[in-house]
Homo-oligomer: A and B are copies of this chain.
Amino acid sequence: MSGLSGTKRTTLRRSREQARTDPASLYDVLRAGYVCHLGVLVDDAPMVVPTVYGFDDEHIYVHGSVASRSLTRPDAVVCVTVTVVDGLVLARSLFEHTVNYRSAMIYGVPRVLQNPGEKLAALRILTEHVTPGQWDYARRPNKRELAATTLLAVSLAEASVKVRSGPPDDADSPDAALGLWAGELPLRYAFDTPVPDPALPAGIEVPPHVAGRHHPA
């Protein structure tokens, strides 16, 4: 992808300084998240459902069972939003309080994948994004399971990215004279020690690709 589009709905009207227009920024956000929020139209009202996703250069693939009931109109546009919250920004004034985050918003008409080979390829991308290593470790879907899996592909062509980072914006304001503490409270995400299924027989070790995701502090 050579550049993010600038259609009316993906051209940011507010906070222009936070907009990113390069595909690398989009991929960075998509790489950092696990769950997206998929917005679809149901009976003329928006419905926002959380679901896992994966992506390649051109598409985001979302697990779409929950949303499938909305896909009765073949031309219906959906909005896929991925948000990673990096911290809370505490300013001198409440008005300047904000959040450090990275967010991507993707608009497109989803394609419901039908071809088994194509579905398997998308499921592999999704699996390896959320749980890297599991595609080769766990049992892959059989025909029945694959048929029961709804996968949507949405083009990344119409997307916008917003990023906010760093300290609050009121260091140069009269509020600096208040002598209040200001700064960022970073939010950290980490995988904890894997919890084995209680039904697991003794002697089955946590495989390295799972154990390796836990980073002791």
Interface residues of A (CB under 8 A from B): 8-9, 13-14, 34-35, 37-50, 52, 65-66, 69, 77-81, 83, 85, 87-88, 90-95, 97, 99, 101, 103, 105, 107, 123, 127, 130-131, 134-135, 137-141, 145, 148-149, 167-168, 171-172, 175-176, 178-201, 204-207, 210, 213-214, 216-217
Contact = CB atoms under 8 A, between A and B. Distances in A.
A178 B206 CA distance: 14
B195 A180 contact: no
Given A34-B85, A131-B88, A191-B186, A138 B43 contact: no
A181 B145 CA distance: 21
Given A9-B42, A138-B94, A171 B184 contact: no
Given A41-B41, A41-B46, A189-B187, A52 B99 contact: yes
Contact of A46 (B40, B138, B201): B40
Overall SS of chain A's interface: mixed
A197 B171 contact: yes
Given A45-B9, A81-B49, A145-B93, A189 B188 contact: yes
A178 to B, nearest CB: 6
Contacts of A42: 9
A193 B187 CA distance: 9
